[in-house]
A and B are shown apart, each in its own frame.
Chain A
């Protein structure tokens, strides 16, 4: 059983919709991540939160807005997305500042933008 959960599993939205992806981890980790993965490509880092503060934003467009309400929750708010934003969105968690930064992934949300 995964200790990082994500909802919803699937999401279909129009370009004018506003939706949110949710992630929760029960591992006591203090770093959480959003990744985007397109078919047959590796995951691409979007955002990193460390101790509930945004520490890395990989030049992601403002139509993606992350939020970390507490140490175990991470949200990704979506607004005015484009069809090319369709992808698998993965959340991960780890313990920050470790020499060996093992990250554990949730099952992902498969997003389709029409």
Chain B
């Protein structure tokens, strides 16, 4: 079983839609969690860290459920520019463990 599991997608959604990505992790000792965004042939960029209380940054909301070992990312009012691969990441010490990524395609 992979340490961090994500639905690979693709998720094809129209502009303005709300889309949710889910992620599970297997190591209960994982300390912190992140969502990274990666555009085709570019580097991963940190989208947001994920806190137990949940956190929001504009149209993006991240939630962490430690009891269920589950992380989510909600994107509201999708834009064409949100099209990318979203990587769920768990931290173990100084190491980051990446999920395989979920591909999002927003169409006009």
Contacts and interface: CB of A to CB of B under 8 A. Distances in A.
Interface stretch (A11-19, A70-78, A100-108): A100-108
16 contacts: A31-B94, A41-B100, A42-B98, A56-B95, A96-B94, A97-B94, A99-B31, A100-B31, A101-B32, A103-B46, A105-B43, A105-B45, A106-B43, A107-B42, A107-B43, A108-B42
Interface residues on A, range: 20 to 34
Interface of B: 31-32, 34, 41-46, 49, 87, 91, 94-96, 98-101
Nearest to B98: A42
A88 B43 CA distance: 9
Nearest to B44: A105
Interface of A: 2, 31, 41-43, 45, 48, 50, 55-56, 88, 90, 94, 96-97, 99-108, 110
